[in-house]
Amino acid sequence: MRSTSSLPASPRRRLLLLAVGAGALAVLAGGAIIWLVWFSSQAPAAASLDGAIGALESAQPSSAASPVGSDAPAATDDGATSAPADGIDGRWTVDRSIGSFDDYTSAFAGFRVDEVLTSIGSTTAIGRTPDVSGSVTIADGVLTATTIEVDLTTIRSDQSRRYPAIQRSLETGSFPTATFTLTGSETLPDDAATGATVTTSVAGDLTIHGVTLPVTLDLEASLASGVIVAVGSIDVTFTDFGVDMPTAPIVVSVEEAGQIEFQLFFSRS
């Protein structure tokens, strides 16, 4: 007797096998598409001073016209720039006219936090908004005052699926803004007025979700083309501010600790 396993498949059986195979491929392809659309994109890199200065320079006219900022440095005969007569002293306000939020070359503030997704693994979630206002005051080379306000209702993530969870966790209907206020002063190096990079940490009060806590802000800043460019971050534990971390069926966990990050341009006011 011949083994049935050696018998040729009937047309109906071949069709069934083809259908099963096609179905499996469709499931795999569908899973790949879901991965690519929802989960695979990497979060944008943290802001860097070089990148922010590059965005500022790209936003300026290519002609010899005055660059962004009301007191831009004047060009010397050798093509270099000199600092304005009054250096960096004065009041400077956040300038939202520089760059574009579409590619994160504009001023923005937001957060970075790690999360673990089912069957996906670890990813980094971000949320950013261009709706930042505020000012810094410098007197005799000393940073004496800083107040920054962020509109949390317009925070957008690199993944739109996160939008509702972000707004629910921050309860932006009741707590629409976050603020940072400098609580001390910081003496800036003498060459800050000529465009040298300032790297420092300053103390301040951070208010999120109606809760105010002392924090340390790590920043880099430089005077470039008459604009103060500043980038930096604050390490925070969101639950300390009464923020409940978001949950969803796909989310295994979201870290309670993360970073507040910012990229800001200040023009003289």
Kindly report, residue by residue over 183-198, the tens digit of the pLDDT.
999 999 999 999 999 9
d(CA 259, CA 262): 10
**Contact status, residue 80 vs residue 195, Cβ threshold 8 Å:** no
pLDDT at 254: 52
Residues 6 or more apart from 158 whose CB is under 8 A from it?
A: 41, 43, 44, 125, 126
pLDDT at 190: 92
Q: Is the pLDDT of residue 252 over 90?
A: no
Which residue would you say has higher pLDDT here, 37 or 248?
Answer: 248
**Residue found under tokens 């990148």:** 51
pLDDT at 44: 84
Which residue would you say has higher pLDDT here, 33 or 138?
Answer: 138
Which residue would you say has higher pLDDT here, 159 or 49?
Answer: 49
Look up the CATH superfamily of 44-58+83-268. Answer: Lipid/polyisoprenoid-binding, YceI-like (2.40.128.110)
pLDDT in tens, 44-93: 888 999 999 999 999 875 433 333 444 444 444 444 344 454 689 999 99
pLDDT at 160: 73
Ranges of each domain in the chain: 12-41, 44-58+83-268
Q: What percent of the chain has pLDDT over 90?
A: 52
Q: From residue 267, give the alpha-carbon distance in Å to each of 97, 128, 180.
A: 10, 21, 19
Instruction: Please state the rounded mean pLDDT for residues 238-247.
Output: 80
pLDDT at 128: 95
pLDDT at 73: 44
**Contact status, residue 58 vs residue 50, Cβ threshold 8 Å:** no
- Reported as a pLDDT band with limits 50, 70 and 90, residue 42 is low
Q: What is the pTM of this model?
A: 0.74
Q: Rank 24-28, 82-86, 206-210 by mean pLDDT and report only the highest.
A: 206-210
Nearest-Å Rg of the Cα atoms of the chain is 26
**Contact status, residue 31 vs residue 40, Cβ threshold 8 Å:** no
